[in-house]
Amino acid sequence: MKHAVYPGSFDPVTNGHMDVMTRAARIFDSVTVTVMHNARKQGRHLLTLDERLDVLREATAHLPNVRVDSFSGLLVEYMRLTNNGVIVRGLRAVSDYEYELQIAHLNRQLGDVETVFIMAATRWSYVSSSMVREIASYGGDVSKMVPPASEAALKRKYQQV
């Protein structure tokens, strides 16, 4: 059985994230999407941890081999505790690569964990959670950039419903 962990902030999950995890779910027997709950980032997120988990559960309900989890601490510690195989990270463009390469090497050095990169489809190359949050904060339409569960959570957050 080949397992993968797809970690991230998912604030909120975008169609780019969905594309990466759908591709991962075809490659691996099971994929755990793990919201990394970093105490130092607390207060800088738009959605709470519970909101991000609820949105992810709804958005991944159609993917039978994908489950959702959260963890507070180092990713390598989570990998060790859950015995969960490899880390999956998505790449949108070359600009993502330098940062991701650094993290991948650090995680290999810290915990001897491999990282597999999956390229998101080019149509999502311009989509990021931060841009989605900004557009939604001004009442802009993000329906083509995020799954319906994310859009609903953003609308609730910005009180448009």
Under the rule (CB under 6 A), what is the footprint of ligand PNS? Answer: 7-9, 36, 38, 74-75, 103, 106-107
Q: Please check whether residue 120 is in contact with residue 19, taking contact to mean a CB–CB distance below 8 angstroms.
A: yes
Give the residue with the Cβ less far from ligand PNS, 42 or 160. Answer: 42
Strand partners, 117: 89
Residues annotated as part of the active site: 17, 41, 92, 129
Q: Please check whether residue 28 is in contact with residue 5, taking contact to mean a CB–CB distance below 8 angstroms.
A: no
User: What is d(CA 30, CA 26) in angstroms, rounded to the nearest whole number?
Assistant: 9
Give the residue with the Cβ less far from ligand PNS, 41 or 156. Answer: 41
Beta carbon of residue 138, minimum distance to ligand PNS (angstroms, whole number)? 22
Beta carbon of residue 159, minimum distance to ligand PNS (angstroms, whole number)? 25
How far is CA 25 from each of CA 21, 115, 158, rounded to the nearest angstrom? 6, 15, 32
Nearest residue to ligand PNS, using CB?
Answer: 8
Beta carbon of residue 96, minimum distance to ligand PNS (angstroms, whole number)? 9
